[in-house]
Structure 1
Amino acid sequence: MDILDIRKQFPILHQEVNGHPLVYLDSAATSQKPIQVIEALEKYYREYNSNVHRGVHTLGTRATDGYEGAREKVRKFINAKSTEEIIFTRGTTTAINTVAASYGAANLKEGDEIVISHMEHHSNIIPWQQIAKKTGAQLKYLPLQEDGTISLEDVRATVNSNTKIVSIMQVSNVLGVINPIKEIAKIAHENGAIMVVDGAQSAPHMKIDVQDLDCDFFAFSGHKMCAPTGIGALYGKKSLLEKMEPIEYGGEMIDFVELYDSTWKELPWKFEGGTPIIAGAIGLGAAIDFLEQVGLEHIAEHEHKLAAYAMEKMSTIEGISIFGPQDPAKRAGLVTFNISDVHPHDVATVLDAEGIAVRAGHHCAQPLMRWLKQSATARASFYLYNTEEEIDKLVAGLIKTKEYFSDVF
């Protein structure tokens, strides 16, 4: 990977913030966009802006080709069997809500169990809380090891014949943990449960093969992988999607509408009611082209090196606590941390004054914060455009933050 060449393709990175060159270390929240994606969106709006599927005119045909072409790119990107298994959504949150509200509502009853973990993002907790309340199912949590990892022994002890759904994130947005999804899916299936995967933090950073994972559903967002906001995808095994009812009704998703009843289109369109996210899908397709040109395996290797380098440099700062596995080989490209006696919001504010963007707060993972016994944490997350020099600036900024608050107090 030629990082300098890659950085040239991200216009937003070439600016100053508060008098300093921007150091963007918040890609776990949302990634920046390469010029290829920006140009793809502009071209759509300039040259063939039109609705899809409905018209036979030239612009409509071009828009439909772009939209459905993006679906095929998503299929190949995660190695699904068919485009019928790819549903465009607003993102990971909408995708998981769709599974919970459609599959969960139809297949859960009192006495059934849904298994998730303490590390989950709120978007993989709240939908299951709500569907459990509606169906009488019980929500169970996998325990975490001291370093925040999940042990397969605990999975086997928790998942049983009453378990109907297991829903786990592949990569933690706080701990950086990479979970053994393939092995967890095997245990789920041995007990007659389905496997749902939150891929928001994995799809942008590593090669995904849903057939190899043997997951039943896989959800991810475009905006974390160089695509626009407001677009994502839900993969589902065709045999499951065919039995599921849509949760949004209206145009596009219907076959025939009578006065008192209606029928639905075939997959995947029955789950895409209304005018779809056309520009977003085209932008997602352009982002996939870009990432595959760079190579997901190269991106993963680069981020592991950055995480290892960051942990090595940051651990030399007295009073800093790094959360999650201490072995960089066991984690993705992010480091969540706190400095003793300094609130993470204060850390982020001082770093911002140096042009360094990090995240501070509960990261939409309040149960995990309580498990960590922290009210909030700071997080530096890396992507293909970050460099070791930027991590050096982060470390210098953290030392400055520590010294500043030592003088104040």
Structure 2
Amino acid sequence: MAHQPQSNAGTARPAARPGPGPELSGVQTITFAKALTLAMADSMAADASVLVFGEDVGTLGGVFRVTDGLTRRFGEDRCFDTPLAESGIIGMATGMAVNGMRPVVEMQFDAFAYPAFEQITSHVAKMGNRTKGRVRLPLVIRIPYAGGIGGVEHHCDSSEAYYVHTPGLTVLTPSTVTDAYIMLRDAIASPDPVVFLEPKKLYFSKDTVDLDALRARYAAGSAIPGTIGRAAIAREGTDATLIAYGPSMAAALAAAETAAAEGRSLQVIDVRSLVPYDDETISAAVRSTGRAVVIAEAPGFASMASEIAARIQERCFHSLAAPVLRVTGFDIPFPAPRLEKHYLPGVDRILDAVDSLQWEES
């Protein structure tokens, strides 16, 4: 689980200056992108050490408009544009975090983060260990990722395996509007670096949420547990367990709905927190059904899906009625837009996997 927030030595977190109140409150129907915007705005309003920067996040409000309005509300010293230099963005954010700030940076597209990879793996991930915990990095790296938007290579990578393989990084990916808000606020509050993977195809999905109730989770003295290190049961079921996260959750839920119409009950688990990983919830879910299918958009070889399947096999072997199967993207570069639908895991591929889970013939 995540550590409790603490400041680096001599860098007490300043209180935010009084400013405009929340732009929305109460029960609202909002998009996934708007939930992220509100999470950043509420965090910035509560803590003056939180600031947002990256390519085109200021005046434009981000390619997907996730930072829209933050510069207008908080000023250019709190939300600002940077040069097109991802390594420089992460390097600057690291220095700011060391000195008491809480940067939230955007990489614009998944593969655009690769020029900053050395900074992330060599410095961001290792600073706490290098200093024996004396220097923490409260830094969030927001990465719009995965497919589903008809983009091309360099714009649709599922790059989670690179980050989950790197000790020292927390890696999160929400799949619902509510989780978009809660998980980003939890990430910003964390004293350690978080890679926050945002499924691009979910940005304009909508749901009705109670913003006042969500904000109450972060009121002084709130004892509501955070989302870091906690998976969620998205749908109950008894016959088999589908395990997915981020951009693959919609396909998993759609497959479960189709299966229900055919008389089969599928449980769906949203991993949410890739690192730290919730072994307890996921293993208990698989033991309850005895069958598991892991679903992810990324290529299957040496992937997060591989790790989940291995952990289930190690922990649930004597409860399994069939081998753990995976439904993933293919081991090829991300395809052209017209071929994307064949590459991404869909309902038919998921249900084909479920059908092959060694069911006993009646």
| Common topology (TM > 0.5) | no
Q: Which has the higher helix share?
A: 1
Report which of the two structures shows the higher radius of gyration computed on alpha carbons: 1
Identify which of structures 1 and 2 has the higher relative contact order when contacts are C-alpha pairs closer than 8 Å and 6+ apart: 1
TM-score (norm 2): 0.37
TM-score (norm 1): 0.33
